[in-house]
Structure 1
Amino acid sequence: MMVAAGFKFVPANTPQRQAAFKNLPPHKFSREIKNGQVFYVYPDPTVCVCIYVGNASAYGTYRNNMFQKNLADEQQMTADMNAMNDWDWGPWGGYPYPGWYY
């Protein structure tokens, strides 16, 4: 999702990068300013031992994509829960409790 939003993948593959990598909070965005431009940095020590670097546009796109994904996930969860309302509870002794003994 990061690359699709416009972030660049930068591996921590040199001693200098590894040292700088350790100073960043893992799995959290950091806002950095370099030469008057704003960049967002996301270190991933778990999967790739790399950082993702993007500008404000990439960050905005990523946030929007995550919002859309979360919304779609919630809509799917709601649809799944609503589908259970039509399920036949009869063979199980009724719903919610008659015939159910714990």
Structure 2
Amino acid sequence: MVGKTIRGVLATLAASAALAGCVTMGAQEKEGQLAAAGFVRQQADTPQKMAKLQALPQNSIVFSQRKKGNVYIYADAAGCGCAFIGNDAAYQQYQQIRTANNIAQMQETTAMLNQEAALDWGGVWGPYAPGWY
């Protein structure tokens, strides 16, 4: 009984640490994915650019139709003070990267849950223990 309680506490701590890591790395991870997909980073290095950047919805991708074609903009005034700008091809590549990362995270979570279930033997010897325990 004590072993299960300790294991539960450790699992809860591990999950909390993982979630804390996700929260702190979220914006950096997204910006890395955008750059890998072909989005170009534009720094807001003047007060006018910063005002335009702050007027955009923050930390989400916004679609804009221009004469030259479709443009996708990700604004992060508080974090990097920059915007990531991409076209249709970059946005499609970003969606593929996100999907691949989501699948990898689901597989990792499944593996951790399977490992935790395998370690919980259900008593000393698990379901194969003799009936007298």
TM-score bracket relative to the smaller structure:
0.7 to 0.9
Task: For residue 29 of structure 1, report the CA deviation from its aligned partner.
Answer: 0.9
Cα distance per residue 1:16-68 (max 9 Å; x no partner)? 21111111000111111221410000001232110000001101100110111
Q: For residues 52-102 of structure 1, what are the alpha-carbon distances to aligned partners after superposition, in whole Å with 9 as ceiling and x for unaligned?
A: 0000110110011011101110011001101112214536xx9xxxxxxxx
Q: Secondary structure at the match of 1:48?
A: coil
Q: Provide the alpha-carbon RMSD of the alignment.
A: 1.6
The one-letter amino acid of 2:123's match is: G
Q: Where in structure 1 do 4 or more consecutive aligned residues deviate above 2 Å?
A: 88-91
For structure 2, the residue ranges without an aligned partner over 5 or more in a row are 1-32, 127-133
Give the letter for the 2:109 counterpart: M
Where does the alignment leave 5 or more consecutive residues of structure 1 unmatched?
Answer: 95-102
- 1:82 pairs with 2:114: yes
- Equivalent residues, number: 92
Q: Which has the higher contact order (CA 8 A, sep 6+)?
A: 1
Say whether residues 1:25 and 2:25 are aligned partners. Answer: no
3-state DSSP of counterpart to 1:30: strand
Percent identical among aligned pairs is 32
Q: Distance in 2 between matches of 1:89 and 1:11?
A: 56
TM-score (norm 2): 0.64
Which structure's residues are more often helix, by fraction? Answer: 2
Give the alignment's TM-score, normalised by structure 1: 0.82
